[in-house]
Structure 1
Amino acid sequence: MLNRIYLGILNGMAVFAGLMLVWLLVAIVLAVVIRNLGAQPSAWFFLSTEYAMFYLTLLGAPWLVRKKGHVHIELLTSVLSPTALNILSRFVAAICTITSLVLAWKGLELVLMNIERSDYDVRAFFVPKWILTIAFPISFTLMAIEFARFVFGKEILHTGEAGFQE
């Protein structure tokens, strides 16, 4: 049950990131059309696309880790023995887990500081900064969980095969 909820959150974040990608396409086309008609697009267009690029990157990242969708070079791992590949891949995943945990912690500190100071992003609108920075601790915590699966689980992060794996 808990696993299904977790996967639902992960998949929901990925779907939301995909929807933001669609919004980017629509917003850019609309902004170009509006400019070509001689008008000025709303400042909200620019702010929403900036936020969307940020959120889609962070919200989609944990799902990409789960699916082994991040870019990595398999040139070295393709020449390793299965035992060496297993050790190296788990070591790399452990470093990624630790890095993600540190970034999640620092992200949480940033969110708490934004809330404490009542920081705002003041451009087109007054947007509380914690709305932007809350993605850091959430996404990096989920990435740490996903990388930890490759440290302690049955499956490893790297395939050991050079080239595209589709």
Structure 2
Amino acid sequence: MRLLIRLYDGIVDLMALVAAIMLVWLMVAIVVSVGMRNAGIQPFAWLFTSTEYALLYMTMLGAPWLVRRRGHVHIELLTAALPEGVRRIVSRGIAAACVAICAYLALKGFELVQTNLARNDFDVRAYFFPRWLLTIAFPVGFGLMAIEFSRFVFGRELMHSGEAGIHE
């Protein structure tokens, strides 16, 4: 079981690394595109399209890692004011709601991928790109976020620390 957990954690870490590389690509692509425009040159069509794809993939690949690290946005003002026992219940309840929402979105994303495959949809802007390769990010990202939130529901750690303010 430990091997399976380590493998899963490695996959989530690898996805976060790919997201970080995409963030660097976005910076480079934007600088090159702006530089080309300032030089009076039309930027490559694939340059713009690749940044759009990177925004989607970067978000969906990095989100499970952010959930694990509690890097997502949440406000602890209310949970910090709660007694320990109540805070545990509220935190686990919020995490359970997050699991349900992410699982639902993963299901809808999977249905979208199936639709794209059945219709043989393509994104036909800069180049022909099978649309399912874009939409597969939704069930993968939301599915892994559901798993990560479930760790806060069933695991020892809580999603909310009970300390209001910035702690970095």
TM range (shorter): over 0.9
Question: Is residue 118 of structure 1 aligned with residue 120 of structure 2?
Answer: yes
**Counterpart selection for 2:129 from 118, 127, 130:** 127
List alignment gaps of at least 5 residues for structure 2.
none
Q: 2:146 is matched by which residue type in structure 1?
A: A
Q: 2:43 is matched by which residue type in structure 1?
A: P
**Counterpart selection for 1:14 from 13, 16, 20:** 16
Q: 2:90 is matched by which residue type in structure 1?
A: L
Cα drift, residue 33 of structure 1: 1.2
What is aligned with 1:30? 32
- Rounded Cα–Cα distance in structure 2 between residues aligned with 1:54 and 1:135: 8
What is aligned with 1:73? 75
CA-to-partner distance for each residue in 1:4-27, whole Å, 9 max, x for gaps? Answer: 210111000000000000000000
What is aligned with 2:109? 107
What is aligned with 1:162? 164
CA-to-partner distance for each residue in 1:58-94, whole Å, 9 max, x for gaps? Answer: 1000000000100101111110000010000000000
TM-score (norm 1): 0.98
Q: 2:143 is matched by which residue type in structure 1?
A: T
What is aligned with 1:45? 47
Q: 1:6 is matched by which residue type in structure 2?
A: Y
- Rounded Cα–Cα distance in structure 2 between residues aligned with 1:149 and 1:3: 12
- Rounded Cα–Cα distance in structure 2 between residues aligned with 1:164 and 1:135: 31
Q: What is the root-mean-square deviation in Å for CA atoms of aligned residues?
A: 0.7
Cα drift, residue 156 of structure 1: 0.7
- Rounded Cα–Cα distance in structure 2 between residues aligned with 1:117 and 1:88: 43
Q: Report the number of matched residues.
A: 166
SS at match of 2:77: coil
**Counterpart selection for 1:3 from 2, 5, 15:** 5
TM-score (norm 2): 0.97
Q: 2:110 is matched by which residue type in structure 1?
A: L
SS at match of 1:65: helix
Show structure 1 runs of 4+ deviating over 2 A.
Answer: none
